[in-house]
């Protein structure tokens, strides 16, 4: 069995002040996979990602395990974390302007880690930079090396940020909303680039986005987060074509259809809870049309779908009611009926 590139086990993140923002997250990214992490704003996606780099807000606490290449990053010291960042795991953010230094040329930023952490010589680093900019399809890489971030378009800046992330050939790329700040056609180019890097370079990617359309096009597996917990996970196509958690279904129903079928957009009622007021039991129950009394007191565990059917393989669900199960598949033989 190969070691997963990333495996978190019961990852729990407590912010300064004691609020729990991530509450027992299990995630696995196998080599060469793109795994999506979806969920509304504030569900804990970015904190999950930052914990892999030892970059949580000052005073936060991470518990559980977060293994990158088999090594638990939560136990590493700052020096070891610095060595790991860029080399084993690298990150791309929503807005490339926040990750690119405005006063340094693209060339300097692409080569910096190679020069300072690997002792690569000037001309070898420059050659690698040209190779990287070519790989991310930046036209005229030689000239772009001398450019400053503000001289590039948004899409080219994000390509440059990806080149920087890839400079030391990390095994895992964490991309946090990498296309949200870009317009649609530019978005598609960046997504194609990520897909190509996975296919041609075997790069593994944890892709964070609230956009389930993007997830469907790109990811192998998907985990849906709500209020700091994963509520549903499984192979992307199965999960998107037959969602089992009312929250996943709500997210999908709120997407415009692109298949020409006229269907009303249905927003999920209410809004995601604040950390200070996460409801007990299933955190989604106040917004859920299928909730029954125990949903407000009993916390559902994330459990494998028990049908045994091949279509349900690798799927897990945290829902006491499971209203979208086929008849006879519901917990208690369908005894729990939706309200």
Ligand X SMILES: Nc1ncnc2c1ncn2[C@@H]1O[C@H](COP(=O)(O)OP(=O)(O)OP(=O)(O)O)[C@@H](O)[C@H]1O
Question: What residue ranges bind Mg ion (CB under 5 A)?
Answer: 46
Of residues 60 and 111, the one with the C-beta less far from Mg ion = 60
**Minimum distance, C-beta of residue 45 to ligand X, in the bound complex (Å):** 3
Q: Which two tokens stand for residue 322?
A: 């499971």
Select the residue interacting with ligand X from 44, 69, 86, 141 (CB under 6 A).
Answer: 44
**Minimum distance, C-beta of residue 228 to ligand X, in the bound complex (Å):** 7
Of residues 46 and 60, the one with the C-beta less far from Mg ion = 46
Q: Which two tokens stand for residue 93?
A: 């953010």
Residues β-bridged to residue 204:
172
The owner of tokens 């030391």 is 168
Residue span 16-35 as binding mask against ligand X, x where in contact by CB under 6 A, dash where not: -----x--------------
Give the residue ranges of DSSP H helices in the chain.
Answer: 45-51, 78-84, 96-99, 106-118, 122-135, 141-145, 154-166, 184-201, 212-218, 236-241, 246-253
Of residues 44 and 107, the one with the C-beta less far from ligand X = 44
SS3 235: strand
Taking CB under 6 A as the rule, does residue 275 contact ligand X?
A: yes
The owner of tokens 């990150």 is 91
Q: Which does 43 bind (CB under 5 to 8 A by kind): Mg ion, ligand X, none?
A: ligand X
* Short-list 247, 217, 220, 219, CA closest to 232: 247
Measured at CB, which residue is nearest to Mg ion?
Answer: 46
Q: Which does 15 bind (CB under 5 to 8 A by kind): ligand X, Mg ion, none?
A: ligand X
Q: Which does 42 bind (CB under 5 to 8 A by kind): ligand X, Mg ion, none?
A: ligand X
- Interface region with ligand X, contact rule CB under 6 A, candidates 44-52, 197-205, 238-246, 315-323: 44-52
Residues β-bridged to residue 205:
34, 173
Of residues 188 and 275, the one with the C-beta less far from ligand X = 275
**Minimum distance, C-beta of residue 13 to ligand X, in the bound complex (Å):** 8
Cα 142 from Cα 45, distance rounded (Å): 36
Taking CB under 6 A as the rule, does residue 42 contact ligand X?
A: yes
Cα 198 from Cα 212, distance rounded (Å): 19
β-pair type (229-235, 221-226): antiparallel
Select the residue interacting with ligand X from 10, 57, 289, 313 (CB under 6 A).
Answer: 57
CB 321 within 8 A of CB 281: no
* Short-list 157, 51, 26, CA closest to 95: 157
Q: Which does 66 bind (CB under 5 to 8 A by kind): Mg ion, ligand X, none?
A: none
Tell the burial category of 318 from Cβ atoms under 10 Å away from its Cβ (0-12, 13-18, 19+). Answer: buried
Taking CB under 6 A as the rule, does residue 229 contact ligand X?
A: no
Residue span 232-271 as binding mask against ligand X, x where in contact by CB under 6 A, dash where not: ----------------------------------------
CB 203 within 8 A of CB 33: no
Taking CB under 6 A as the rule, does residue 209 contact ligand X?
A: no
Of residues 54 and 323, the one with the C-beta less far from Mg ion = 54
Residue ranges binding ligand X (CB under 6 A): 15, 21, 39, 41-47, 57, 210, 275
């Amino acid at each position: 069995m190969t070691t997963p590139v990333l495996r978190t086990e019961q990852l729990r993140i407590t912010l300064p002040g004691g609020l729990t923002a991530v509450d027992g997250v299990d995630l696995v990214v196998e080599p060469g996979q793109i795994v999506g992490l979806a969920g509304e704003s504030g569900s804990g996606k970015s904190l999950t990602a930052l914990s892999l780099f030892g970059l949580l807000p000052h005073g936060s606490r991470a518990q559980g395990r977060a293994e990158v290449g088999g090594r638990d990053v939560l136990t590493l010291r700052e020096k070891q974390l610095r060595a790991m960042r860029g080399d084993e795991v690298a990150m791309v953010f929503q807005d490339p302007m926040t990750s690119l230094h405005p006063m340094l040329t693209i060339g300097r930023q692409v080569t910096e880690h190679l020069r300072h952490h690997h002792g690569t010589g000037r001309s070898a680093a420059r050659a690698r930079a040209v190779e990287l900019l070519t790989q991310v399809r930046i036209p005229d890489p030689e000239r772009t090396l001398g450019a400053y971030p503000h001289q590039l378009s948004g899409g080219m800046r994000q390509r440059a940020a990806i080149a920087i992330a890839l400079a030391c050939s990390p095994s895992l790329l964490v991309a946090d909303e990498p296309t949200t700040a870009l317009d649609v056609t530019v978005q598609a180019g960046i997504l194609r680039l990520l897909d190509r890097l996975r296919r041609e370079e075997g790069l593994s990617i944890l892709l964070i986005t609230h956009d389930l359309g993007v997830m469907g096009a790109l990811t192998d597996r998907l985990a849906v987060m709500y209020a700091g917990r994963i509520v549903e996970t499984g192979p992307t196509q199965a999960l998107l074509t037959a969602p089992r958690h009312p929250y996943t279904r709500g997210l999908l129903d709120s997407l415009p259809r692109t298949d020409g079928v006229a269907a009303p957009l249905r927003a999920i009622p209410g809004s995601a809870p604040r950390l200070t007021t996460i409801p007990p039991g299933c955190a989604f129950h106040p917004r859920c049309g299928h909730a029954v009394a125990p949903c407000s007191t009993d916390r559902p565990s994330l459990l494998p779908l028990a049908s045994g059917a091949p279509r349900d393989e690798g799927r897990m669900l945290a829902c006491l009611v499971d209203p979208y199960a086929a008849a006879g598949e519901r917990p208690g033989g369908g005894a729990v009926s939706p309200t």
